[in-house]
Amino acid sequence: MTAPGRHGSPGARRAVLLVLPAVVPVVVVVGAALTSAVLLSLGLTPLVGRPELSLDAWRGAELGTSIRLSLAIAAGATAVAAVVGLGLALAVTATVRRSRLLGTLGALTIPVPHLVGAAAMGLLLADAGFLPRLLGVAPEDWPALVGGRWWIAVGAEYAWKESAFIALVVAGVLSSRVASYTETAALLGAGRWARFRHVTLPLAAPALGASAAVSFVYTLGSYEVAALLGRPSPEPLPVLAVRLFTSIDLAARPQAAAVAVTTSALGLVAVLLALRSLRRLAGEQ
């Protein structure tokens, strides 16, 4: 006897049929684009010259430094966004009126485009920006937050924007379940820290992990913020791909394709790891 909702059951087949209209176009478009990029990066569909299998594009694209830099930016910004987003979600689900107002103000950042956020962060944190003027610090004494060595402004913009997204997802989960569970735990004698550790955090973990994974993959492949607020060199993967793709040298196109394929592969690995972690977390719960 087949359990309801299992693979092969009428419910599962109906669910697959419902998602096919959305999944098939995505698979066709993304699959065709990745196949074309892989063939171009391997020299099998060159813009000039004869097709010839080669790994020269992968060797000459300076991938190592860009991969480390992109992973560092995405991991740092996602970690900060997850902590801030979780705190904001806890504030939103609290019963204090001021906390709800804080949640509303935080959610207002979601419709702001990243390009607008990057421009605002640059005007705020640059050596001649609003913050050093407000604090009375001379431009030569202000640290290089924009275009500096540590990519502070880039990480701050991603963390600011993505924390609101994470807070919205986590708050949606906590608002419907956390109150009754914490009240029960409180009646059983659990303290504030024990309620947070054994009730609130396990309830929020799946939504927090899923939204953090989405934030990580988006930051890994995002171009505009790093291009506007980052250093000219070294370049994160999206900035490197765009520069190579828009170069007047047609021989750089295979290198741009190699960078794009690498970025997609890293994003896919991140998603698979996140799904595996979420599945294990669901099994433990």
User: Which one has a higher pLDDT value, 107 or 174?
Assistant: 174
Structure confidence by residue, pLDDT tens digits, 165-186: 999 899 888 887 777 888 888 8
Kindly provide the b/e burial profile for residues 181-212, where b requires at least 16 CB atoms within 10 angstroms of the residue's own CB.
bbeebeeeebeeeebeeebbeebbbbbbbbbb
Given a contact cutoff of 8 angstroms between Cβ atoms, the answer to whether 239 and 285 are in contact is: no
- Residue where the block lists tokens 């309801």: 4
30 lies in some domain: no
Is residue 263 within 8 Å of residue 70, measured between CB atoms?
yes
Residue 39 lies in a domain: no
- Report d(CA 207, CA 65) in Å as an integer: 32
The string of pLDDT tens digits covering residues 38-59 is 999 999 988 878 889 989 889 8
Please tell me the predicted confidence (pLDDT) of residue 3.
46
pLDDT of residue 98: 57
Domain span holding position 207:
59-284
Neighbouring C-beta atoms of residue 241, cutoff 10 Å: 25
Residue 107: pLDDT above 70?
A: yes
**Inter-residue contact 112 to 161 (CB < 8 Å):** yes
Q: Which residue has the tokens 């019963």?
A: 95
Report the CATH number at residue 150: 1.10.3720.10
Q: What's the structural domain count of the chain? A: 1
- pLDDT band, very low/low/confident/very high, at 228 (cuts 50, 70, 90): very high
In a domain, 166, yes or no: yes
Q: What's the rounded Cα separation, in Å, for the pair 25 and 35?
A: 15
Residue 193: pLDDT band (50, 70, 90) is confident
**Does a structural domain hold residue 236?**
yes
The answer to whether residue 52 sits within a structural domain is no
In this predicted structure, which of 139-143, 181-185, 251-255 has the lowest mean pLDDT? 181-185
Q: What kind and span of H or E run contains 118?
A: helix 114-125
Look at residue 23 and tell me if it is in a domain. no
**Range name among 5-9, 106-110, 189-193, 212-216 with the lowest pLDDT average:** 5-9
In-domain check, residue 121 = yes
4 compared with 35, residue with greater pLDDT: 35
Q: What is the pLDDT of residue 48?
A: 79
Radius of gyration, alpha carbons of the chain: 23
Residue 54 lies in a domain: no
| Average pLDDT score over residue span 194-202 | 89
